[in-house]
Structure 1
Amino acid sequence: MKHHLLPVSPTNIHWGYFSKKVAPALTLKSGDRATIETLTHHANDDYERMIANDPGAESVFHWTKEHKSVVRRGAGPTEGPFVRGSGEGLGVHLLTGPVAIENAEPGDILEVRILDVRPRPSCNACHAGKCFGSNAAASWGFHYHDLIEEPKPREVITIFELDTSGEPYAKAVYNYIWTPQTDPDGIVHPTIDYPGVRVDHTLVRKRENILPNVRVPARLHFGTMGLAPSESDFVSSIPPGYTGGNIDDWRVGKGARMYYPVAVSGAFFSVGDPHAAQGDSELGGTAIETSLTGDFEFILHKNRDLGGTVLEGLTHPMLETDQQWSMYGFTFPNYLAELGKDAQTDIVNHSSLDKAMRDAFRKLRRFLMTVHKMSEDEAIALMSVAADFGVTQVVDANWGVHGSIRKNVFRCT
């Protein structure tokens, strides 16, 4: 077993997409471990707290009129003229990787064990050692067209500080309403529509003393983690799918094991969208977006060895913890295949919790019948009395429902 380090840098990240065409940033063997740094794509909501004097973050976010360190930001076009910028924001998350796994082939399953997760402290002398994150109540949030206070509509950024001195928690520092921002290329962004735009704090009005009596328990986790799909060379990081991606489940943190079906040779694992805390549904559009470093272990399960294991017949992401298994249902299990050539833009028109719930039900039913050898009637009875179905997220176009079954229901006295 080897232990690798994958720091953030313009050559070790890709911004806003999964891809089978990007050269691997790291190649390892099954059983190897890696410490992987990740950055939040929302760090420029407060440059001074989350980027300044951090060499890795500064190198990735560097963008002036003369030079943009990461040109492509999203799975969209890279030839202008642009409305928003190269990649056109069709995908937003900063992803570290890809990590290629030797001998991984389509039909295999990659197990990713999250051994540890820790926050990335501010490098600004004024905030040395403190950790910060940003929450955006954004235009893609479930709430956006149902506001009752003025001004309507509005997008609101809330900056949180993460306290890790004891049981970790986050506390709000201030918030502000997004005002139009002009990027170094001269493009005006009236809304949060392109990743990495630096907010000019002279153009916003900070509101302090907000949420004064609230402490949010920290749930350090990775919102976006998965493998490269086979259907397209560049796939938006926003909608989750059959190889994982932007699942946005706060349970995908320390101690969790995620299983992903391999779609392309090498698997091409990427991770990002780090979160300090999030509730089920991610209602407003984001979690507390922060920068994290994780320790991971990678185990490749070959297709020929899956029979008779919990991975038999697995064609979708699955979470395992010490307490439970979780299956992830989506509006479309594989929207890339089901919606055709315009899938990455068309998926937003089809979001449905009804369909996601049915998909989660079907996946958990298959798991109980295949892995635990139940009849359909037994599986349905158990799901009704012991399984927990919850709304994972309603903001990522391909909406999600998780269906979980606790391991202790299978223990006989």
Structure 2
Amino acid sequence: MCLGDDPTCAAFAEHRLRYRRDMEPERRAFLKSGFVATGGAAALAAGGLSLVSPALAQNSARRLKQTAHYHLPANAETIHWGYFSKSLKPQVEIDSGDFVTIETLTHHANDDAERMVTGDPGAESVFLWTKEKKGVARRGAGPEDSKLGPGGGLGVHICTGPVAIRGAEPGDVLEVRILDVAPRPSANPKFKGLTFGSNAAAWWGYHYNDMLEGRKREVVTIYEVDASGDRDWAKAVYSFPWPGVTDPDGRDHPTIDYPGLPVDHTKTKRTYDVLKGIRVPIRPHFGTMGLAPAEADMVNSIPPSYTGGNIDNWRIGKGATMYYPVAVPGALFSVGDPHASQGDSELCGTAIECSLTGTFQFILHKKADLAGTSLEALDFPMIETSEDWVLSGFSYPNYLKDLGPDAQNAIFQKSSIDLAMRDAFRKMRQFLMHAKGLTEDEAISLMSVAVDFGITQVVDGNWGVHAIVKKAIFSERTA
């Protein structure tokens, strides 16, 4: 269905006009909400609820122009599959303070193309793969001549973007506010009003080498979500063992080793009534979201790093704010790997991988304004919610730098929870001392009695541990 993003549609002009009319009230609501870069940030900061101090908010606000609202659809022309790159041409260039509504597609949509691809022009253009044509050839940061296909599957996430922020330079901090997250409805009339996602218990999952009776297998479970968002839970529809796939280029894939493989369901054995009577609470979020790193030209989308990427923390959803250190001019923000829900650890290798659309506001904080603020020493992605600050620890904080020339291969052999925990501890200590004025001894005591450390994920190469501290702890602190 054309949403004003398909120029080949016979009614493109009408649909585009309708989209812009629909967005205008939404945009006005954002501008009236008080949660924009001027009064909104300052109001939060005044109550000690934000990392952005009133002074920093005012300095950043002085650079704002009249805000604009952009729409970035997901199609074969607007996505990059499986990698971040500082050399990518921006899909849109914006000013600080602007809003962008960004469509994202799950790279697992072809697990059930009937439900997640059919009838959707954007998804069909991305997942197109016949003997004659491949909608998106490069899938991953690997070589063009990989035996699995261009990119080699060294990176799997469909990322929409990048979005360039005018004036962003290395040393700045980009604040990204997630104002809304909505499911992408199935475009197949058979499934009107529904959205679907896939959960693959795959070979890269933590469980895979520890299965009962040693019987290794990959099993895909398809979940159903209410497209309107009114129903706050998902239910399993059916599951099937991975049947093995021969792709349109004639390559065999006995395991899920290349993104976007088209599953032939005439060869699958479906089990219905799986997880019968169980409601899975949905918490829509973006598993992969961040900026382009500086250390390499093409970077695998799987391991997260200091500029964000595949953090896979379910808290990166509606109402949350992300802070990223800018590493390259323009920042180059991309987002993908949308999830309907995920538990901490993402144990089997995936979440409910489900296409979503997000609306974001981008606020640029210049390096010159950061001295003496909570963001001055920020060199890692940080999550802020209405109640919490969440710090992301990784086995290697900047694996591209830490592990040398072979970093993108070495990271998959060297990660550990112990290293990630150590990084999370060090980052929280730094945060409590620098941003909250505690001594080291005070910080250590507080971490032990009031900070929750959790396993973010153990499946992304660079494993993650997050540290959560409640804002309310500091409600009576004056300095």
TM-score range (shorter-chain normalised) is over 0.9
Contact 1:238 1:397 survives alignment (8 Å): yes
Counterpart-to-counterpart distance in 2, 1:98 and 1:345:
25
Counterpart-to-counterpart distance in 2, 1:395 and 1:8:
26
The alpha-carbon deviation at position 105 of structure 1 amounts to 0.3
Counterpart-to-counterpart distance in 2, 1:198 and 1:326:
37
Contact 2:82 2:301 survives alignment (8 Å): yes
Of the three residues 128, 132, 136, the one matched with 1:70 is 136
SS at match of 1:345: helix
Q: For residue 191 of structure 1, what is the amino acid of its counterpart?
A: T
Aligned equivalent of 1:33: 99
Counterpart-to-counterpart distance in 2, 1:307 and 1:379:
22
Counterpart-to-counterpart distance in 2, 1:185 and 1:167:
41
The alpha-carbon deviation at position 83 of structure 1 amounts to 2.2
Of the three residues 226, 237, 244, the one matched with 2:290 is 226
The alpha-carbon deviation at position 404 of structure 1 amounts to 1.1
Contact 1:389 1:403 survives alignment (8 Å): yes
Any unmatched runs of 5+ in structure 1? none
Matched, 1:153 2:200: no
Structure 1 residues 203 and 149: alpha-carbon distance in aligned structure 2, compared to 1, 3 A threshold: farther
Aligned equivalent of 1:11: 77
The alpha-carbon deviation at position 213 of structure 1 amounts to 1.5
* Aligned sequence identity (%): 64
Structure 1 residues 331-381: Cα deviation after superposition (integer angstroms, max 9, x where no partner): 000000111111111111011000000000000100110011111001111
Matched, 1:320 2:320: no
Higher CA-based Rg: 2
Counterpart-to-counterpart distance in 2, 1:354 and 1:336:
19
Of the three residues 387, 398, 405, the one matched with 1:341 is 405
Matched, 1:52 2:118: yes
Of the three residues 231, 240, 250, the one matched with 1:186 is 250
Structure 1 residues 164-204: Cα deviation after superposition (integer angstroms, max 9, x where no partner): 56341110000000021011111111100000110000111
Counterpart-to-counterpart distance in 2, 1:153 and 1:179:
13
Aligned equivalent of 2:333: 269
Counterpart-to-counterpart distance in 2, 1:188 and 1:101:
42
Matched, 1:139 2:203: yes
The alpha-carbon deviation at position 69 of structure 1 amounts to 1.3
Matched, 1:332 2:396: yes
The alpha-carbon deviation at position 149 of structure 1 amounts to 5.1
Aligned equivalent of 2:423: 359
Aligned equivalent of 2:225: 162
Structure 1 residues 374-413: Cα deviation after superposition (integer angstroms, max 9, x where no partner): 1100111111111110000000010000011100000129
Matched, 1:119 2:183: yes
Of the three residues 151, 154, 164, the one matched with 1:87 is 151
Instruction: Extract structure 1 runs of 4+ deviating beyond 4 A.
Output: none
Aligned equivalent of 2:108: 42
The alpha-carbon deviation at position 308 of structure 1 amounts to 2.7
Counterpart-to-counterpart distance in 2, 1:100 and 1:193:
32
Matched, 1:350 2:404: no
The alpha-carbon deviation at position 129 of structure 1 amounts to 1.9
Counterpart-to-counterpart distance in 2, 1:180 and 1:411:
56
Counterpart-to-counterpart distance in 2, 1:205 and 1:27:
47
Give the structure, 1 or 2, with the largest relative contact order (CA under 8 Å, sep 6 or more).
Answer: 1
Q: For residue 158 of structure 1, what is the amino acid of its counterpart?
A: T
Contact 1:122 1:132 survives alignment (8 Å): yes
Contact 1:123 1:129 survives alignment (8 Å): no
- Normalized per residue, the structure richer in strand is 1
Structure 1 residues 193-219: Cα deviation after superposition (integer angstroms, max 9, x where no partner): 000110000111001011001100000
Structure 1 residues 288-335: Cα deviation after superposition (integer angstroms, max 9, x where no partner): 000000000000010111123221200000000110111100000000
Structure 1 residues 263-296: Cα deviation after superposition (integer angstroms, max 9, x where no partner): 0000000000000000000000000000000000
Matched, 1:286 2:286: no
The alpha-carbon deviation at position 84 of structure 1 amounts to 1.2
Aligned equivalent of 1:129: 193
CA RMSD of aligned residues (A): 1.0
SS at match of 1:343: helix
Taking structure 1 as the reference length, the TM-score comes to 0.98
Counterpart-to-counterpart distance in 2, 1:326 and 1:312:
17
Contact 2:139 2:259 survives alignment (8 Å): yes
SS at match of 2:212: coil
Q: Which moved more, 1:53-62 or 1:161-170?
A: 161-170
Structure 1 residues 125-175: Cα deviation after superposition (integer angstroms, max 9, x where no partner): 11112100000000000000001157x210000000013563411100000
Q: For residue 359 of structure 1, what is the amino acid of its counterpart?
A: D
Counterpart-to-counterpart distance in 2, 1:91 and 1:384:
36
SS at match of 1:145: helix
Contact 1:182 1:189 survives alignment (8 Å): yes
The alpha-carbon deviation at position 251 of structure 1 amounts to 0.4
Of the three residues 45, 65, 90, the one matched with 1:24 is 90
Counterpart-to-counterpart distance in 2, 1:145 and 1:12:
37
Q: For residue 89 of structure 2, what is the amino acid of its counterpart?
A: A
Counterpart-to-counterpart distance in 2, 1:310 and 1:398:
26
Of the three residues 312, 322, 340, the one matched with 1:258 is 322
Q: Which moved more, 1:300-309 or 1:325-334?
A: 300-309
Structure 1 residues 248-267: Cα deviation after superposition (integer angstroms, max 9, x where no partner): 00000000000000000000
Q: For residue 224 of structure 1, what is the amino acid of its counterpart?
A: T
Contact 1:225 1:270 survives alignment (8 Å): yes
Counterpart-to-counterpart distance in 2, 1:205 and 1:5:
40
Q: For residue 233 of structure 2, what is the amino acid of its counterpart?
A: Y
Q: For residue 317 of structure 1, what is the amino acid of its counterpart?
A: P
Contact 2:126 2:136 survives alignment (8 Å): yes
